[in-house]
Chain A
């Protein structure tokens, strides 16, 4: 039975041996690949081959610093691990030559060093854990993302992987496992925040000759990529979590429902499942204990509603992805009408740590009712976009202004959308709210899956509401009347307001529609679809009123409400604007203030970009 422990020892030794070699790691998550990581890989690889250098190359998933991609790391014996950002094929070769070969760190490109025993700290490179981006983070669920090679089960095992599964299978009863998960206080990371332990208990107690474990990897929120990063960076953690769940509820089969737009995640999952089966850690007779757990992947076509668990189950069954009425809940009657437990990717990824390190360790993080850590995807107008895992209960301000480094171009913060299209925006005055399930709901937002979209002063909140309603309207499955027809009408009203044709009664109509849709729609999609409108109405009502009554868009976004004018004081008559105007709306003599004929102007904005004196006003 200590074969796993023996394996771990072997793999750790192998890793230690590797540490005696120079290794270059290239970040090849989707973010790294999108930024050009593969070109860098080839460039370095080519050079190593050409010069026959004794340097090993490996790849990893996303380390979270998407704002610095492409990222590479250099591990040189006797030196701290150094992370380089904004790498391109040319400077990659410089890093290779200077650092990997000659041991001289390229300070201009070094983002951070990760000190290690027996290696002198570098004087001019910040320490990873002291970076503002990292200082307030905790790394548990995504601790191994970007650190291990996701395709290597050996590395996962060397880092303690499958130890939790072994512990569960060889020494814990089903009830003990469920109790441990319950005590940890873990709540579902897929949005709703339901107690994971309780959910497992329901599925455990449900009668059935066959049960299923399902992993929701649909991740449909615009701006969310936490689950993708976990699947690409540490797929075994999810598989191990699912297997532990399978044991505790009495299921021998599991499905991972992953959107087809995540080809890399699917590939890594396939590899991980195959390696897991070969190693006897998945599949039949796991670790010789007689427990079987077979995993399958189902690629979804990427409809947002297929993230709703009953629609997801329909979709796995090959039916149209439309939600079912609940109850019965999946725990009673789920996949093929069998008791089914469905959790989110991140939820499962937390499980091995909870089992290994104990529920009290997990529960020591977070607030009274929301425990542990949560991964957020930081996007929008912040200086540092990326993936951050923080203890639940940290304030929104800390996330945006410390971890994400505040607003780009020194602009003013306006609002942050939390919870994607189902959530709401939170304005400046609530920035000190702790991020936990209940506080966010109280503000009209939602934890959601962890997408955090930051908006600055140049964002029009009516336009934001319109954006999200357009999303939900398109993603509505069409089954129930309020969502199918109601979101369409809400969108139409928002569009008329943005087009400057808003009517005084529009705000009331929006509020009435919101109330009815929220209270009558069949599934969570419809029930939360009005949230972006309600939240913007709550905190930015005057912007709606400006659009409707004063025919003005204060943020200068809604084209129909804008007028371009030239400030005669500032204009020196250089004529650059006149040259670019595609409809010849600008006239004026050389060196004399110019003028815009608003009846001709099509508001394309070309002139404003050309004017070096900021003499053109949009408003």
Chain B
């Protein structure tokens, strides 16, 4: 495809036609925050945090869904843009628990990062806040919708697997929330706890329950591995704290890729204190440690083989 020429923050750039302003800005290293946009997943243009100023446009377009055009003059962080982003963050924060000190996502949360960048402390608006009961009745996903910013990524990733579609938007306006069929807890839904949604949530609304209390991003070291339990070969992060594995979390759930519980739960074998090192055989009503040959009942055969081999 041909190239188009535009100006971003006073800098002339030439980029392939058809890409978005956000992608073009990325190419020259101009920062644009995003919540709802995910290159491989979804671009609903919903959160509006990525708005930029384009000369001649009446409104501030969302850069993640606006294509570049010849001669465009873009400002990614002009005063009106900053004012808009600040206001959007103030609005999100006004309806957020702000318990960042104990939040599992602390240090790994876009809302926190952007609030820091734009100096948003909360308190600009005092009014109704959501008071949903967190969904904690299953062992795998901790869902606290009070923290949800409705970016829709979880919905997109869950719906990317055709037989799933466990969650979707429900209700309207201020009361909009992500819900399962009949607004049930995950445990009473069709959820298979693949944790794709957890992997994409930009805030602390969806958390891997197995990792709760085990440390936050700065405490952990992550190594990406490819799961070998089945032929899908999903990507997982193995999380280490002080050199010890503390959990396996779902990494990027690329479109159509099933993540599953098997991979993440494999860790339980590794650290089970009851894990046996030798086979046990019941003798006179008691388990006693024996050799593999004895356990499998092949000791006499082995003896014979040894003789033949000689």
Nearest-neighbour CB distance to chain B for A471, whole angstroms, equals 11
Within 8 A of A (CB), among B30-81: 43-49, 51, 58-60, 62, 65, 67, 80
Task: Please name all residues of chain A whose beta carbon is closer than 8 Å to the beta carbon of B91 when the two chains form the complex.
Answer: 481-482, 485-486, 489
Give the complex CA separation of A245 and B124 in angstroms.
50
Nearest-neighbour CB distance to chain B for A301, whole angstroms, equals 11
User: In this assembly, does A91 line the interface, its C-beta being within 8 Å of a C-beta of chain B?
Assistant: no
A488 touching B127 in the complex, CB below 8 Å, given contacts A325-B62, A481-B46, A519-B84: yes
User: In this assembly, does B297 line the interface, its C-beta being within 8 Å of a C-beta of chain A?
Assistant: no
Within 8 A of B (CB), among A487-545: 487-489, 492, 509, 512-513, 515-516, 518-522, 527
Within 8 A of B (CB), among A601-618: none
A325 touching B45 in the complex, CB below 8 Å, given contacts A492-B127, A516-B84: yes
Chain B interface: which size bin?
A: 35 or more
Give the complex CA separation of A476 and B171 in angstroms.
10
Question: Of the candidates B44, B65, B150, B174, which one forms a contact with A488 in the assembled complex, judged by CB atoms under 8 Å apart?
Answer: B174
Q: A481 to B149, Cβ gap below 8 A?
A: yes
Q: A325 to B127, Cβ gap below 8 A?
A: no
Give the complex CA separation of A518 and B58 in angstroms.
10
Chain A interface: which size bin?
A: 20 to 34
Question: Of the candidates A474, A475, A481, which one forms a contact with B48 in the assembled complex, judged by CB atoms under 8 Å apart?
Answer: A481
User: In this assembly, does B83 line the interface, its C-beta being within 8 Å of a C-beta of chain A?
Assistant: yes
Q: A527 to B59, Cβ gap below 8 A?
A: yes
User: In this assembly, does B95 line the interface, its C-beta being within 8 Å of a C-beta of chain A?
Assistant: yes
Question: Of the candidates B84, B92, B150, which one forms a contact with A520 in the assembled complex, judged by CB atoms under 8 Å apart?
Answer: B84
User: In this assembly, does A461 line the interface, its C-beta being within 8 Å of a C-beta of chain B?
Assistant: no
Give the complex CA separation of A525 and B67 in angstroms.
23
Task: Please name all residues of chain B whose beta carbon is closer than 8 Å to the beta carbon of A489 when the two chains form the complex.
Answer: 91, 94, 125, 127
User: In this assembly, does B172 line the interface, its C-beta being within 8 Å of a C-beta of chain A?
Assistant: yes
User: In this assembly, does B175 line the interface, its C-beta being within 8 Å of a C-beta of chain A?
Assistant: yes
User: In this assembly, does A588 line the interface, its C-beta being within 8 Å of a C-beta of chain B?
Assistant: no
Task: Please name all residues of chain B whose beta carbon is closer than 8 Å to the beta carbon of A476 when the two chains form the complex.
Answer: 172-174
Q: B92 to A522, Cβ gap below 8 A?
A: no
Task: Please name all residues of chain B whose beta carbon is closer than 8 Å to the beta carbon of A325 when the two chains form the complex.
Answer: 43-45, 62, 65
Task: Please name all residues of chain A whose beta carbon is closer than 8 Å to the beta carbon of B65 when the two chains form the complex.
Answer: 325
**Could you mark each residue 297-325 of chain A with 1 if its beta carbon is under 8 Å from any beta carbon of chain B, else 0?**
00000010000000000000000101001
Question: Of the candidates B48, B49, B128, B149, which one forms a contact with A522 in the assembled complex, judged by CB atoms under 8 Å apart?
Answer: B48
User: In this assembly, does A484 line the interface, its C-beta being within 8 Å of a C-beta of chain B?
Assistant: yes
Give the complex CA separation of A120 and B173 in angstroms.
61
Question: Of the candidates A478, A479, A519, which one forms a contact with B175 in the assembled complex, judged by CB atoms under 8 Å apart?
Answer: A478
Question: Of the candidates A484, A487, A519, which one forms a contact with B59 in the assembled complex, judged by CB atoms under 8 Å apart?
Answer: A519
User: In this assembly, does A265 line the interface, its C-beta being within 8 Å of a C-beta of chain B?
Assistant: no
Give the complex CA separation of A487 and B176 in angstroms.
13
Task: Please name all residues of chain B whose beta carbon is closer than 8 Å to the beta carbon of A259 when the two chains form the complex.
Answer: none
A478 touching B176 in the complex, CB below 8 Å, given contacts A519-B59, A519-B84: yes
Nearest-neighbour CB distance to chain B for A495, whole angstroms, equals 9
Nearest-neighbour CB distance to chain B for A199, whole angstroms, equals 20
Q: B173 to A521, Cβ gap below 8 A?
A: no
Nearest-neighbour CB distance to chain A for B208, whole angstroms, equals 26
Give the complex CA separation of A478 and B169 in angstroms.
9
**Could you mark each residue 79-100 of chain B with 1 if its beta carbon is under 8 Å from any beta carbon of chain A, else 0?**
0100110011001101100000
Within 8 A of A (CB), among B130-187: 149-150, 152, 168-169, 171-176
Task: Please name all residues of chain A whose beta carbon is closer than 8 Å to the beta carbon of B125 when the two chains form the complex.
Answer: 489, 492
Q: B88 to A482, Cβ gap below 8 A?
A: yes
Task: Please name all residues of chain A whose beta carbon is closer than 8 Å to the beta carbon of B48 when the two chains form the complex.
Answer: 480-482, 520-522
Q: B60 to A479, Cβ gap below 8 A?
A: no
A518 touching B92 in the complex, CB below 8 Å, given contacts A476-B174, A480-B47, A485-B174: no
Give the complex CA separation of A521 and B173 in angstroms.
13
16 A-B contacts, Cβ less than 8 Å apart?
A325-B45, A325-B65, A477-B173, A478-B150, A478-B174, A479-B176, A481-B46, A481-B150, A482-B87, A492-B127, A512-B87, A516-B84, A519-B80, A520-B59, A520-B84, A520-B88
Please report B residues at the A interface, Cβ cutoff 8 Å: 43-49, 51, 58-60, 62, 65, 67, 80, 83-84, 87-88, 91-92, 94-95, 124-125, 127-128, 149-150, 152, 168-169, 171-176
List 10 tightest A-B contacts by C-beta distance, closest first. A478-B176, A485-B91, A325-B45, A476-B173, A492-B127, A516-B87, A488-B174, A519-B59, A325-B65, A520-B48
Beyond known contacts A325-B62, A488-B127: 15 more, CB 8 A cutoff? A320-B168, A474-B172, A476-B172, A478-B169, A479-B176, A480-B45, A480-B47, A482-B48, A482-B88, A482-B91, A484-B150, A485-B92, A487-B174, A489-B94, A492-B127
